Amino acid sequence: MTEKIKKLLDEIKELRVENADELEALRIKYLSKKGAVSALMNDFRNVAAEQKREIGQRLNELKQLAQDKINELKENFDNIAANDNSLDLSRTPYPITLGTRHPLSIVKREICDIFGRLGFNIAEGPEIEDDWHVFSSLNFAEDHPARDMQDTFFIGHAPDVLLRTHTSSVQTRVMERQQPPIRIICPGRVYRNEAISYRAHCFFHQVEALYIDKNVSFADLKQALLYFAKEMFGEETKIRLRPSYFPFTEPSAEMDISCNICGGQGCPFCKHTGWVEILGCGMVDPNVLNNCGIDSKTYSGYALGMGIERITNLKYRIKDLRLFSENDKRFLQQFA
């Protein structure tokens, strides 16, 4: 019995493990009910009476040593695992798929960069707005169709809380708290109560620009529009302005560019006219300036606005607006 105990002591002192499975196997081998230490304990009943005291002490020492050794190995193994930086359980499994910018984000950044080179700063505002900033301050009549539930999303039962229908509300907020010169561009998401189809959606994205200073003229507006068109669609791009109406500008115009697909020669995309409409613009109505606390006799300005989806359609020839919001990876990966 003494030799068996000594042999087992020497064996336990030399134990080593590489992983958790090996550690568990050693625990079972030495400390389980059918393990080596338990087997010696069972043989203890056969020891002569005069040797029981000595053998009993050595068996207890063996059991304690085995328990301490297993605990030591476990502690060492845990420390090594904790300090091992080669395994990061928070990492994405390979292969890692790289994402890409959304086409609307690509075009929005390009538009902002172009106007940034003209000295415009980016301004942002809330998407949940009130009637004053969306309609009243911008010279909308009380009976204007845009104020109807059929055209605008109103929130709850409050008659003056709504989702903004254009980013012009950002312009009014800036004009209320800042005196000219003002030169801002306002990108953002807007909402309108429209049926969703390949050509319309209940939410979309706009970029609007506003420039107010002394002696700002329609010629300044035209020059900015021409610069934008050439930077966005190419040096050969031409523009034309057609008279239009917007409540917040007077005079107002819609701007067309020469079709970037057929070069103005006529094709199905431009309906064989050679021109494609991309934005609305005009000189800021004096009533809007006065509503926002700016003296219309001293200052003048121009404003323009465009749909980012519209510009993206022209740039990438995307025919269905729903693709922009369906999160189809096959569509998005084309812009990697």
More confident call, 181 vs 154 = 181
Q: Answer whether 47's CB lies under 8 Å from 18's CB.
A: no
Tokens of 117: 């080179």
- Residue 94 phi, psi (nearest 5): -75, 155
In angstroms, rounded to a whole number, what is the distance separating the alpha carbons of residues 303 and 137?
Answer: 15
Answer whether residue 8 shows pLDDT above 90.
no
pLDDT tens per residue, range 261-309: 777 788 777 788 889 899 999 999 999 999 999 999 999 999 999 999 9
133: how many CB neighbours lie within 10 A of its CB?
Answer: 22
Tokens of 24: 């568990």
More confident call, 103 vs 19 = 103
Residue 147 pLDDT: 62
pLDDT tens per residue, range 100-153: 888 999 999 999 999 999 999 999 999 999 988 888 899 887 777 766 666 788
The answer to whether the Cα torsion of 62, 68, 72, 73 is positive or negative is positive
In angstroms, rounded to a whole number, what is the distance separating the alpha carbons of residues 282 and 273?
Answer: 24
Burial status of residue 146 (CB atoms within 10 A of its CB: 0-12, 13-18, 19 or more): middle
Kindly indicate the confidence band of residue 84, based on its pLDDT and cuts at 50, 70 and 90: low
Average per-residue pLDDT in the chain?
85
Answer whether residue 77 shows pLDDT above 70.
no
